[in-house]
Amino acid sequence: MHLEIDRSDISTRRMTATEAPAQAAEGTVVLRLERFALTANNISYALGGDFLDYWGFFPAEAGWGRLPAMGFGVVTSSAVPGVDEGSRWFGFYPVADHHVVHAMAKGGGFLDIGAHREKHAPAYRQFDPADPSFTTDDECFYLLLRGLFVTSHLCEDFLRDNAMFGAAQMIITSASSKTSLALAHEARVNGSARTVGLTSAANLDFVVSTGLYDEVTTYDDIEQMERVPSVVVDMAGNVSVLRRIHVRFGDALAYSCRVGATHWQESRALDADGGIPGPKPTFFFAPSQLVKRGKEWGRDELNSRMNSALAVFSADAHRWMTLHEAHGADAVLAAYDSLVSGSVDPSVGHVLSL
């Protein structure tokens, strides 16, 4: 069974009946997906599915896409040396009950070497062995946070690497999202900038309660924000909100970084009237910073730094995030729908299985 999304309208989705092969074909591994996480980050994958080729990860029928998610799977059949039956692996899977990978063992893990995956960054194709010391609770938090944390960690690193473009304040939209919370956490840990979280009135109390931002305000109050040298990191993908920030800050806006659930058709509206004040909004592509730091530090050092930082953030997340585990197609569809509509409780993390 696979969750499939209408690529022209991500609010339209379906469950498609599929069968896992009983025996792996030569050069392939068959995995049963044990659990996966769904967060707003997955909605970003859907919205950027064509532009960033997330739909190319797991091909489906024309017009439909299979949603990538962070998951743990167990090998039920293997025809790849070095990948044993019964072994458990963490990586990007489709939201499904099984996954078949054309695999090659590499560096203690294995890599998806399917022809359709060649153009994708290795970080999106790598499967790593499950940590045997993890409890189920540890694994759930890891699933919920690792993918989005890497994006946030690298975004903060990119901004700090560029001396915050001369600004001392970071404005973060969609402040209740876990990706935004991770970014605010990293900015605080590294002392890179004063953070201002922008959120809806409905989520204001929750965002304040996390204590991760230096200041929290609502979208209604953008025009009253103090005009000081700032960068904005747009996690919301709301063109109207981003435009209002640009108009309010004008030349005081040193850099405009687009990260989150951006609808690429809507993004063209930013230039429809000849542009907006301040810097041109620039999309942040995490794998580019990953490659840069990998070359500078080496892969082992880079992974060590990210894993250490993730452990600190995950420990802190236990303060403000509650796990919700559920099984079955109805539960997966309900969680997906709540994320698309924006009605999901920001204090809850959804870990699911089919």
**152 and 252 together in one domain:** yes
Q: What is residue 262's predicted lDDT score, i.e. its pLDDT? A: 37
From start to end of the chain, where are the E strands?
A: 2-6, 13-16, 28-38, 64-66, 68-78, 88-94, 98-106, 109-112, 126-129, 169-172, 194-199, 215-218, 230-234, 253-258, 282-283, 322-327, 348-353
Residue 72 lies in a domain: yes
Give 139-186 as a DSSP string: HHHHHHHHHHHHHHHHHHHHHHHTGGGG-SEEEESSTTSHHHHHHHHH
CATH number at residue 20: 3.90.180.10
CATH number at residue 261: 3.40.50.720
Domain count, the chain: 2
Separation CA 110–CA 122 (nearest Å): 11
Residue 296 lies in a domain: no
Residue 208 lies in a domain: yes
Pair of tokens at residue 80: 């790849």
Q: What is the pLDDT of residues 299-325, one digit of tens each?
A: 889 989 999 999 999 999 999 999 999
**155 and 120 together in one domain:** no
Q: What is the pLDDT of residues 71-102, one digit of tens each?
A: 999 999 999 999 999 999 999 999 999 999 99
Strands 282-283 and 68-78: unpaired
**Contact criterion met (CB below 8 Å) for 258 and 281:** yes
Look up the domain containing 334 and give its range: 2-134+321-353
Q: What is the pLDDT of residues 19-76, one digit of tens each?
A: 999 999 999 999 999 999 999 889 888 988 888 899 999 999 999 999 999 999 999 9
Task: Find the helix packing angle between 136-161 and 286-297, rounded to 10°.
Answer: 80
Separation CA 292–CA 338 (nearest Å): 36
Q: What is the pLDDT of residues 109-145, one digit of tens each?
A: 999 999 999 999 888 899 999 999 999 999 999 999 9
Q: What is residue 65's predicted lDDT score, i.e. its pLDDT? A: 96
**104 and 186 together in one domain:** no
**126 and 171 together in one domain:** no
Tell me the pLDDT band of 237, cut-offs 50, 70 and 90. confident
**99 and 201 together in one domain:** no
Residue 202 lies in a domain: yes
Give the predicted TM-score (pTM) of the model: 0.88
**197 and 251 together in one domain:** yes
Tell me the pLDDT band of 260, cut-offs 50, 70 and 90. low
Tell me the pLDDT band of 261, cut-offs 50, 70 and 90. low
**61 and 126 together in one domain:** yes
Residue 23 lies in a domain: yes
